Structure 1
């Protein structure tokens, strides 16, 4: 997966915000898998994946109809951002600690 920039986190949170809360953890996990696969595709073929983009979270979710970014005083949106950051931290921790 490409390096995650602030805009990637916001775009992913907006995508999660559009989903029912019970679907969000699985949706976030799937986003990470797809972004990783798209980045591998980009490295192998020298172009973006036709469905999942260039390996960034933003490219992946911008193919969906995203809601406008809510204000940070929306507790549900804050939970979406927290889920994104938690998933990214967990992913980084898992990569740093080989099994």
Structure 2
């Protein structure tokens, strides 16, 4: 996947928010895998992946319904952001 920016994390969190808590980690892993797949496609073919975009998390997340961005007063949203950050930490461990 492409380098991860703040907007990528927020986009994935917004894609997770409409889901029940028990479904969020699996969807997050799916979005990370789709971003990886798209980045590999871009590197190989020099064009965007038709479903997952340019290899960014934001592009992959936009394939799902995105909740409106709440404030950090919303504990569900906070949990979604933490889910994304933990997934990224674990994803990074696999690359090391």
TM more than 0.5: yes
Q: What SS does the corresponding residue of 1:72 show, helix, strand or coil? A: coil
State how far apart, in whole Å, the 1-side matches of 2:92 and 2:72 are: 25
What is the number of equivalent residue pairs in this alignment? 96
- How high is the TM-score relative to the length of structure 2? 0.95
| Structure 2 runs not aligned, ≥5 long | none
Superposition RMSD on alpha carbons, in Å?
0.9
Superposed structure 1 runs of 4+ greater than 6 Å apart: none
State how far apart, in whole Å, the 2-side matches of 1:61 and 1:89 are: 18
Partner in structure 1 of residue 78 of structure 2: 78
Q: 5 Å matches for 1:2-81?
A: 2-81=2-81
Q: Residue by residue, what CA displacement relative to the aligned partner does 1:41-98 show, whole Å, maximum 9, x if unpaired?
A: 01111111000111001011123331110110100100000000000011112211xx
| Structure 1 runs not aligned, ≥5 long | none
State how far apart, in whole Å, the 1-side matches of 2:65 and 2:28 are: 16
State how far apart, in whole Å, the 2-side matches of 1:11 and 1:67 are: 9
